[in-house]
């Protein structure tokens, strides 16, 4: 049995598509399919039900998934500890962060920790929420930085990961300064909606929370992206309404390039959290974790 087989299995369970999972794993689909079949043969059970629409976990697959994620994570932790013992990764902090936090929040936050030594020991990977979660599960990063909402859990197995809340944020509905559409909820006119994709953390949150407003707002999706700068640009061009983190639109609101579309009841409070695996990650990482102040809720 190879470790790659476990990582392939975890990816396919997440994406439910051989082609998308193979792309994520950076391998050809035929080779990916062979490795999944090899794992099933080694276990002696079918892990997936295969259809034209994709692949879904069998009862045996669902039973195996959590253990596979934990086993994969522990193998990568073992590698990290071995490299630390050899002095190869002794002072390396590996972060996976979502796009909306990488360019604004992360630089300010890491500087606020006031440790110059850290700037020589950071590796930041910016990806979608789905990919960041997989990186943390697989041990490819030490930490995951993301937006969260208490009603929408992450896809991290709760018993294997812990977090600290290190910031607070709001998703604010905004439009350009000269919209050609009506945003009065009382009118019930279709409102063009610039949407975060569901692979992003903010997209997941909006998909859930906007259901609470579905009877009050007639939103019509006209554009979708996982990148907040793209949605920001489209909103300023009066293409539609976008819910964006308040921290990245403060300048545009103050200079009049953007305006708030709806009242505060349509604003969505968020928490900014830093996740890490449970267990000892080594002296340097544990020392860094202990030094992080938590934003008390």
Domain boundaries of the chain, sorted by first residue = 3-81, 95-161+273-291, 169-270
d(CA 214, CA 223): 18
pLDDT at 166: 94
- Tell me the mean pLDDT in the region 226-239: 94
State residue 175's pLDDT score: 96
Tens-digit pLDDT profile for residues 189-215: 889 999 999 888 999 999 999 888 877
Q: Rounded distance, CA 249 to CA 243, Å?
A: 10
Q: Which residues of 235-256 are buried (b: 16+ CB within 10 A; e: fewer)?
A: bbeebbbbbbbbbbbeebeeee
Q: Please tell me the predicted confidence (pLDDT) of residue 188.
A: 72
Instruction: Give 147's strand partners.
Output: 272
Q: What is the pLDDT of residue 232?
A: 95
Name the CATH architecture for the domain at 3-81.
Orthogonal Bundle (1.10)
Do 3-81 and 169-270 show the same overall fold? Answer: no
pTM above 0.85, yes or no: no
Sign, Cα dihedral of 177, 182, 185, 190: negative
- What's the CA gap between 175 and 72, in Å, rounded? 44
CA distances from 73 to 26, 40, 108, 244 (A): 19, 20, 29, 33
- Residue 49 is predicted with a pLDDT of 93
pLDDT at site 159: 81
d(CA 211, CA 72): 36
SS (H, E, C) the chain: CCHHHHHHHHHHHHHCCHHHHHHHCCCCHHHHHHHHHHHHHHHCCCCEEEECCEEEECHHHHHHHHHHHHHHHHHHHHHHHHHHHCCCCCCCEEEEEEHHHHCCHHHHHHHHCCCHHHHHCEEEEEECHHHHHHHHHHCCCCEEEEEEECCECCCCCHHHEEEEEEEEEEEEEEEECCCCCCCCHHHCCCEEEEEECCCCHHHHHHHHHHHHHCCCCCEEEEEEECCHHHHHHHHHCCCCEEEEEHHHHHHHHHCCCEEECCCHHHCEEEEEEEEEECCCCCHHHHHHHHHCCCCCC
Block residue for tokens 């309404």: 241
Q: Which of 122, 136, 140 shows the shortest CA–CA distance to 273?
A: 136
Q: What is the CATH number of domain 95-161+273-291?
A: 3.40.190
pLDDT at residue 224, as a whole number:
94
pLDDT at 84: 64
- pLDDT cut 90: percent of the chain above it: 50
Please, which residues have CB within 8 angstroms of residue 108's CB and are 6 or more apart in sequence?
A: none
pLDDT on residue 80:
67
Triad 21, 25, 31: Cα angle to 5°: 80
CA end-to-end span of the chain: 45
Average pLDDT, rounded, for the chain = 87
pLDDT for the residue 114: 66
Pairing of strands 54-57, 48-51: antiparallel
Mean pLDDT of 78-101: 76
CATH, range 169-270: 3.40.190.10
């Amino acid at each position: 049995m190879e470790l790659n087989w476990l990582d392939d299995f975890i990816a396919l369970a997440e994406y439910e598509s051989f082609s998308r999972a193979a792309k994520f794993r950076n391998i050809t689909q035929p080779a990916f399919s062979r490795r999944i079949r090899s794992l099933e043969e080694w276990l002696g059970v079918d892990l997936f039900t295969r259809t034209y629409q994709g692949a879904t976990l069998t009862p045996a697959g669902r039973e195996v998934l959590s253990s596979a994620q934990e086993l994969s994570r522990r193998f990568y932790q073992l590698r990290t500890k071995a490299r630390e013992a050899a002095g190869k990764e002794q002072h390396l902090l590996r972060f996976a962060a979502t796009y909306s936090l990488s360019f604004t929040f992360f630089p300010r936050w890491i500087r606020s920790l006031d440790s110059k030594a850290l700037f020589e020991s950071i590796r930041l990977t910016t990806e979608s929420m789905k990919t960041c979660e997989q990186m943390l599960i697989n041990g490819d990063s030490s930490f995951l930085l993301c937006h969260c909402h208490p009603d929408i859990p992450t896809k991290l197995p709760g018993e294997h990961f812990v977090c600290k809340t290190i910031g607070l944020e709001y998703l604010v509905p905004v439009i350009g300064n000269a919209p050609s559409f009506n945003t009065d909820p009382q009118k019930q006119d279709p409102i063009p909606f610039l949407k975060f994709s569901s692979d992003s953390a903010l997209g997941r949150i909006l998909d859930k929370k906007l259901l609470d407003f579905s009877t009050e707002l007639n939103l019509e999706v006209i554009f979708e992206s996982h990148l907040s700068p793209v949605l920001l640009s489209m909103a300023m061009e009066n293409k539609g309404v976008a819910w964006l983190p308040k921290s990245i639109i403060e300048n545009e609101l103050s200079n009049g390039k953007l305006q708030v579309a709806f009242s505060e009841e349509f604003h969505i409070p968020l928490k900014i959290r830093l996740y890490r695996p449970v267990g000892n990650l080594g002296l340097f990482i544990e020392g860094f974790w202990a030094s992080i102040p938590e934003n008390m809720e």
